[in-house]
């Protein structure tokens, strides 16, 4: 029988070895992050920044950026400084999120939170230091790329961080604590900013660095918005169903902080179904790229299957 290349995408997707892919990319990212930030004076602040930046985590954001660059330009090296910057921004948001004035948590990524080790003053400054360094790192280390693409990337990062991104989402989230009448519309608006904006920036930055067309940018943005929301829905489910050991952070925190969550609004089963629908839509968006899109499609599937 003649072997055909036209196997349905989903068959190829189930054959894709995501575990090895994620492990390989994670090792590259860990090495780049380690090299990105060396200890200078005053040592205390560099140690605090490195403590959280090198504390592990899934490294999903840098991997999304690298995978997008690989898809469009077969060149992930050009995206590594931006991938590191995205992880610096994500890490700073976790440090600030864990502060007593915010979510007040003692554990993150399986170890004590930054302020528990270095004190609140240094934790705030470590977050600020990482945020500023993210932009410096992209500007100074992105090579062999037209300057206008680098400027565009810096703009995308700034937008994802600001009042229409992480900051705005966090403010809305804090405002909704203790309220029982939060609608699905409001919750989705919170998470599109708080979680989705940075995940979308990962994909958009990888695309812009690769010289993406408007059509590429549009379909990749839709992919990213869908996986961003699915990621948060699963995050809410795991907060109820997983243990502190599995999560590496305090489980059940959403209930004790009286947070508005998707399981509270829809129940666990409906929340899971909605996340799966979003991910299926995300996968379909990328079918135009054929097998080259398998890594991003497999990452989308992983988002609804993950256990931490």
Asked whether position 93 contacts ligand GRG by CB under 6 A, the answer is: yes
Nearest residue (beta carbon) to ligand GRG: 57
Report helix, strand or coil for 107.
strand
Binding ligand GRG (rule: CB under 6 A), the pick from 113, 114, 195, 297 is 195
In the bound state with ligand GRG, the residue whose beta carbon lies nearer, of 64 and 286, is 64
User: Which range in 45-53, 160-168, 216-224, 259-267 contacts ligand GRG by CB under 6 A?
Assistant: 160-168
Asked whether position 194 contacts ligand GRG by CB under 6 A, the answer is: yes
Q: Give the span between the Cα atoms of 91 and 253, in whole angstroms.
A: 19
Q: How far is the CB of 185 from ligand GRG (least distance, A)?
A: 19
Nearest CA to 261 among 168, 180, 169, 170?
Answer: 180
Q: What is the largest CA-CA distance in the chain?
A: 69
Q: Given its phi and psi angles, is residue 261 left (phi above 0), alpha (psi -120 to 50 degrees) or beta?
A: beta
Q: Give the span between the Cα atoms of 87 and 307, in whole angstroms.
A: 20
User: Which range in 77-85, 91-99, 205-213, 278-286 contacts ligand GRG by CB under 6 A?
Assistant: 91-99
Binding ligand GRG (rule: CB under 6 A), the pick from 18, 117, 167, 174 is 167
Number of helices (H) and strands (E), helices first, in the chain?
17, 2
Binding ligand GRG (rule: CB under 6 A), the pick from 33, 53, 82, 96 is 96
Q: How far is the CB of 207 from ligand GRG (least distance, A)?
A: 20
Strands 107-108 and 111-112: antiparallel
Binding ligand GRG (rule: CB under 6 A), the pick from 94, 150, 283, 298 is 94
Give the x/- contact pattern for ligand GRG in 107-146, rule: CB under 6 A: --x---------------------x---------------
Asked whether position 200 contacts ligand GRG by CB under 6 A, the answer is: no
Which residues does 64 contact at the CB level (< 8 Å), separation at least 6? 199, 202, 203, 206, 224, 296, 299
In the bound state with ligand GRG, the residue whose beta carbon lies nearer, of 80 and 229, is 229
User: Which range in 71-79, 90-98, 261-269, 283-291 contacts ligand GRG by CB under 6 A?
Assistant: 90-98
Compute CA distances 146 → 30, 77, 135, 179, 192, whole Å: 27, 15, 17, 48, 30
Binding ligand GRG (rule: CB under 6 A), the pick from 70, 97, 105, 236 is 97
| Cα angle for residues 262, 60, 82 (degrees, 5° grid) | 125
Nearest CA to 22 among 302, 275, 308?
Answer: 302
Nearest CA to 9 among 302, 207, 306, 296?
Answer: 296
Asked whether position 166 contacts ligand GRG by CB under 6 A, the answer is: yes
Q: How far is the CB of 90 from ligand GRG (least distance, A)?
A: 6
In the bound state with ligand GRG, the residue whose beta carbon lies nearer, of 90 and 264, is 90
Nearest CA to 78 among 7, 176, 150?
Answer: 150
CB burial of residue 46 (10 Å; 0-12, 13-18, 19+):
middle
Binding ligand GRG (rule: CB under 6 A), the pick from 49, 66, 161, 298 is 161
Asked whether position 49 contacts ligand GRG by CB under 6 A, the answer is: no
Q: What residues line the site for ligand GRG (CB under 6 A)?
A: 57-58, 60, 90, 93-94, 96-97, 102, 109, 131, 161, 166-167, 170, 194-195, 232, 235
């Amino acid at each position: 029988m003649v072997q055909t290349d036209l196997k349905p995408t989903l068959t190829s997707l189930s054959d894709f070895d995501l575990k090895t892919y994620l492990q390989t990319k994670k090792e590259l990212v860990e090495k780049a992050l380690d090299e990105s930030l060396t200890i200078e004076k005053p040592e205390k602040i560099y140690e605090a920044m490195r403590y959280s930046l090198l504390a592990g985590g899934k490294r999903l954001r840098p991997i999304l950026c690298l995978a997008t660059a690989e898809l469009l330009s077969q060149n992930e090296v050009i995206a590594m400084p931006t991938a590191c910057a995205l992880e610096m921004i994500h890490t700073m948001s976790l440090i600030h999120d864990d502060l007593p004035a915010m979510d007040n948590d003692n554990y993150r990524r399986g170890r004590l939170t930054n302020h528990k080790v270095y004190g609140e003053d240094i934790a705030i400054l470590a977050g600020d230091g990482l945020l500023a360094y993210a932009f410096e790192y992209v500007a100074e280390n992105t090579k062999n790329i037209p300057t206008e693409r680098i400027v565009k990337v810096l703009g995308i990062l700034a937008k994802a961080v600001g009042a229409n991104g992480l900051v705005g989402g966090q403010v809305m989230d804090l405002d909704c604590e203790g309220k029982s009448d939060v609608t699905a519309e409001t919750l989705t608006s919170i998470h599109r900013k708080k979680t989705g904006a940075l995940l979308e920036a990962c994909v958009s930055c990888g695309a812009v660095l690769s010289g993406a067309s408007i059509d590429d940018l549009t379909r990749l943005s839709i992919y990213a918005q869908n996986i961003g929301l699915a990621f948060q829905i699963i995050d809410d489910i795991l907060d109820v169903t997983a243990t502190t050991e599995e999560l590496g952070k305090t489980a059940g925190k959403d209930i004790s902080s009286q947070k508005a969550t998707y399981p509270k609004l829809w129940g666990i089963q409906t929340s899971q179904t909605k996340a799966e629908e979003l991910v299926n839509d995300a996968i379909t968006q990328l079918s135009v790229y054929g097998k080259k899109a398998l890594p991003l499609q497999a990452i989308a599937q992983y988002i609804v299957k993950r256990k931490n």
